[in-house]
Amino acid sequence: MTDSVTESVRVLAGRYQVGELIGRGGMADVHIGTDARLGRRVAIKLLKPSLATDPAFRTRFRQEAQAAARMAHPTIVRVFDAGEETVLDADGLEVQVPFIVMEHVDGRLLKDIIADGPLEPKEAVRIISGVLTALEYSHRAGVIHRDIKPGNIMVTPSGQVKVMDFGIARAISETTATVAQTSAILGTAQYFSPEQARGEIVDVRTDLYSAGVVLFEMLTGRPPFVASTPVRVAYQHVSEPPVPPSTYNPAVSPALDAVVLHALAKDRFERYQSAADFREDANLAAAGQVPAHRVPSEDDASSTLFGAPPSRTAAAEAAVRQLTIDEDDRVVRTQNRPPVAWIWAGIAIMAVVLIAVGVWVFTLSAPNVQLATSIPVPNVVGQTWEDGSKAIENKNLMPTRYDEPSANVPAGRIIRTEPSANSGERLSPGQQVVVWVSSGPEVATVPTVTGLPVDDARVALTSAGFVVQDDTVTEPSDALASGLVTRAQLVSTGASSAPAPAPSGSASGTAAQSSPSTAPKGATFVLYVSSGQVDVPNVVGMASKDASALLGSHQLTVRVSPDGSCSGGTVSSQSAVGDQPQHSTVTIRVCVR
C-alpha cells in the first residue's frame, strides 16, 4: 500500500495484480489484471480517487457492485469483486482508490466500431438486440443501468455483445457526488434521456431511450443531437424532435426509422415500455416487416418497471409512515361515522357514474355505431398526400409519410399504405398508418454511347436501367465509320409514351451525342447508327467562302472551279449532293465574270 496513484496500484486486496493500461475514461482507468488466487485473467477498473471522498459513496458503491455481481448473463460483463484500496499519492497522503474487478472481454468497444463509419442496418439491429437482451435481464433483476452508450458496450471477434458498468451509475447519482463527478459516470449528454436532462426520477425506460440513441448512432455514424456544449445537447433531448436516421443514411428502411423514433419519444409513456418490445420491433424492421404501433396500457407506468419502480413520492412515503405507526401513536377519531354531507356527496357521485355507464351501454348497442378501438383503414391509394393524410386523420389514425420512386404513380400521389385498406385490418385510435408517396420515376444517368458498336451501346444502356429498341435507325455521319452508334434517342419514358419518330433524313452535322444526360429508369431509347456516308448539303447560290466552309465542316474536300458564264462570286453548281462516301471530294463552280 505504498504505491503512488500516478504509478498505479500493482496489487489490490492482496490478490489482484494490475497489468498494463488498456482503456481510459472520464471516471476510471482500465487495466489488464490477474487474479492470483484463482489464476484467471480479469479486467480491473480503477475509479478516480475523488469519487471516494464521500463515505456515502463508498457504501452505495459497495451495495451496487454487489447487486451487479449477482447478474450472470452472456450479454453482461460479469463483476467479480469491488472495494477500495488505501494508497499513498505523490505527496505521501493516503487516498482511497475504488476498484472493480470484472470479466476480461477480448473485443472492441462499440464506440471504436462506430468511428469506422455507419454500420449496416442488419448488423446495427443485431448489436442493439444484444444490448436490449442485457437490459431486459437487468431490469427484471431490479437494476437500471443509467449510462447506456457505445463506450459501455463491447463486441467480441465472434460477434457476441457485452454490456458493462451495471449499477455503477446509480452508485454515483444517489450520493453527494459533485455534478462533475456525476457527469463523468453518466457519460456525455449525447445519450441522456429527457428525464435525466431534467433531473427527474429515472426508470427502465430511461435505458431504452439511451439504447435508441445508440441505435441511431450505429445507423448514421453520429448521435441524433449535436451541439457546442453538453447543456445545449441536453436541451435538444428535452425539446427538439429527432430526425429519421434515413436522413443521414438512405440505406435505413422506413420501418427501422419508425422503430428508432419510437424509442426516442420525449414522453416516456410514448416510448417503448420494455426492452423485449423494443428488441422485437427492431428485429421485425430488420427483416423487412413493419412493426405494429404499440399503445401503452393504463398501468404501464408501474407494470413495465420489472421490479425497479421509481422512488416513492412524498405522499407515498407518508402513507408508509402512517402504516408503521404504533397503535398507541395513532390519532383517535372523535367521530365514529362520516359526516352526513359526505354520505350525500357519495350518493350523488354514484348516481352520476350509473348514468354515465347507462349512456355508454346505450351508445354501444345503438345501430351503425363503430367501436372506437376498431377503425378500418381508409383507401387513399392514388390520392395526393394532402388529401390522403387528411382522410386518415379524420379516422383518428396517425399517417406517417415515406417517399419512394415510382415509374407508374405520378409524383405526390400515394402508392400504398401499411396496413392496406384491402387487408381488412382494423386499428385502434392513434395507431400509425405508414403511407408511401411517389417521388416520381427514379432517374439515372444516360451513358455515352456515341462511337460504340451497336452491341456495346445496347449493353451500356440496359446496364444503366434503360430499355433499347431492337431495331436501329441508319443515318449519315461525317466521321463515324459504318456500324458505329451516332446517338441514342429517347423515345419513351413509360409504357404509354409515343413510339420512336421516323428519321428526318438530314445529316447529323457532328458526331456529338444528342441523348439527354439523365432519364427515368425504364425509359426506352432507339439507337442511330452511322451509314458510313455524308449528307452533302446543297450550296448553290451561296457565296464561295461560305460554301467552302460549310462543306469543309462535313469533312469533305472542296475543289473550286471558275465559271465564266456568270458573275457575283456565288456558287453556280456542284458535283455532288445528298449521300456520298465520307471524306469525298466535292467540286463547286464559282461565278467569276
Mean of the per-residue pLDDT values of the chain: 79
The mean pLDDT value for 147-167 works out to 88
Edge-to-edge strands of the sheet including 432-438? Answer: 398-404, 432-438, 414-418
Domain count, the chain: 4
Q: Please name the amino acid found at residue 234.
A: A
pLDDT at 422: 87
At residue 331, does pLDDT exceed 60? no
pLDDT at 182: 40
At residue 186, does pLDDT exceed 60? no
At residue 389, does pLDDT exceed 80? yes
More confident residue, 283 or 29: 283
pLDDT at 501: 43
Q: Please name the amino acid found at residue 50.
A: S
pLDDT band at 97; cut points 50, 70, 90: confident
The mean pLDDT value for 148-158 works out to 92
At residue 95, does pLDDT exceed 90? no
By the 10 Å C-beta count (0-12 exposed, 13-18 middle, 19+ buried), 560 is classed as middle
pLDDT at 119: 95
pLDDT at 334: 41
The mean pLDDT value for 30-58 works out to 80
Q: Is residue 321 part of a domain?
A: no
The pLDDT tens digits of the residues spanning 430-477 come to: 777 888 899 888 788 899 899 999 999 999 999 888 899 999 999 999
Q: 413: helix, coil or strand?
A: strand
188 and 177 together in one domain: yes
pLDDT band at 25; cut points 50, 70, 90: low
526 and 573 together in one domain: no
Q: 328: helix, coil or strand?
A: helix
72 and 200 together in one domain: no
Contacts of 573 by beta carbon, 8 Å cutoff, 6+ apart: 540, 563, 588, 589
pLDDT at 74: 86
- DSSP H helical segments within 325-429, as ranges? 340-365, 385-394
pLDDT at 372: 43
Q: Examine the residue annotation and report whether 147 is marked as an active-site residue of this protein.
A: yes
At residue 349, does pLDDT exceed 60? yes
81 and 121 together in one domain: no
More confident residue, 42 or 508: 42
Give the CB-side neighbour count of residue 180, counting CA atoms within 13 A: 3
pLDDT band at 51; cut points 50, 70, 90: low
**Helix, strand, coil distribution of the chain in percent, nearest 5:** 35, 25, 45
Top mean pLDDT of 38-42, 89-93, 172-176, 331-335 is at: 38-42
More confident residue, 10 or 297: 10
Top mean pLDDT of 11-20, 49-58, 59-68 is at: 11-20
Within a 10 A sphere around the Cβ of 492, how many other Cβ atoms? Answer: 19
What are the distances in angstroms from CA 305 to CA 52, 94, 106, 311? 30, 42, 32, 12
The pLDDT tens digits of the residues spanning 509-562 come to: 334 445 678 888 888 999 999 999 999 999 999 998 999 999 988 889 999 999
Q: What angle do CA 18, 24, 28 make, to 5 degrees?
A: 70
Task: Please state, in angstroms and rounded to a whole number, the distance separating the CA atoms of residues 143 and 137.
Answer: 9
pLDDT band at 215; cut points 50, 70, 90: very high
pLDDT at 140: 87
pLDDT band at 168; cut points 50, 70, 90: low
204 and 297 together in one domain: yes
Active-site residue (options: 147, 277, 281, 535):
147
223 and 266 together in one domain: yes
Of 53, 69, 103, which residue sits at a domain end?
103
Q: Is the pTM of this model over 0.75?
A: no
Domain, as residue range, for 26: 11-103
Of 279, 303, 327, which residue sits at a domain end?
303
How many residues comprise the chain? 593
pLDDT at 29: 81
Classify 509 in phi/psi space as left (phi over 0), alpha (psi -120 to 50) or beta: left
Q: What angle do CA 402, 408, 414 make, to 5 degrees?
A: 35
At residue 330, does pLDDT exceed 70? no
Q: Yes or no: say if 275 and 210 are a contact pair by the CB < 8 Å rule.
A: no
122 and 216 together in one domain: yes
Q: Please name the amino acid found at residue 382.
A: G
197 and 138 together in one domain: yes
The mean pLDDT value for 490-504 works out to 54
pLDDT at 570: 92
More confident residue, 567 or 96: 567
pLDDT at 353: 76
Q: Is residue 399 part of a domain?
A: no
196 and 220 together in one domain: yes
Q: 367: helix, coil or strand?
A: coil
At residue 194, does pLDDT exceed 80? yes
Could you say which DSSP state residue 157 is in?
T
At residue 120, does pLDDT exceed 50? yes
Could you say which DSSP state residue 337 is in?
S
Edge-to-edge strands of the sheet including 16-24? Answer: 11-12, 16-24, 28-35, 40-47, 94-103, 79-88
CATH code at position 177: 1.10.510.10
Of 303, 336, 354, which residue sits at a domain end?
303
CATH code at position 492: 3.30.10.20
Q: Is residue 111 part of a domain?
A: no
The candidate with the shortest Cα–Cα distance to 176, out of 27, 64, 54, is 54
At residue 179, does pLDDT exceed 70? no
483 and 572 together in one domain: no
